[in-house]
């Protein structure tokens, strides 16, 4: 059974003409797909955050010790 929030959205959509329902449904599909992508990125970032912090510390240390070289954009 859908939650009351989903039931409310369904009732709101049912009050629209058929073509408007189709438009709303398509926008909801796009929104949900984007939302799922964002959640996936958040999960991936959370999982890799310790490695990113470690790399940032390593870079700071290398800069402080004079081991870092400026980026040569022509070699990219």
Along the 76 residues of the chain, how does pLDDT read in single tens digits?
A: 679 999 999 999 999 999 999 999 999 999 999 999 999 999 998 999 999 999 999 999 999 999 988 888 998 8
In a domain, 76, yes or no: no
Domain count, the chain: 1
Q: What is the pLDDT of residue 76?
A: 82
In a domain, 15, yes or no: yes
Does 71 reside within a domain?
Answer: no
Parent domain of 10: 4-66
Report yes or no on whether pTM surpasses 0.75.
no
User: Alpha-carbon distance 22 to 29, whole Å?
Assistant: 11
**Domain assignment of residue 46, yes or no:** yes
pLDDT of residue 1: 61
Number of H helices, E strands in the chain: 2, 0
12 occurs within a structural domain: yes
In a domain, 51, yes or no: yes
User: 22 — phi, psi (to 5°)?
Assistant: -65, -40
């Amino acid at each position: 059974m859908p939650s009351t929030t989903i039931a409310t959205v369904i009732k709101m959509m049912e009050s629209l003409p058929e073509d408007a329902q189709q438009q709303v449904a398509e926008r909801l599909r796009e929104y949900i797909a984007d939302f799922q992508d964002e959640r996936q990125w958040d999960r991936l970032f959370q999982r890799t955050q310790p490695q990113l912090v470690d790399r940032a510390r390593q870079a700071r240390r290398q800069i402080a010790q004079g081991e870092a070289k400026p980026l040569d954009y022509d070699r990219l």
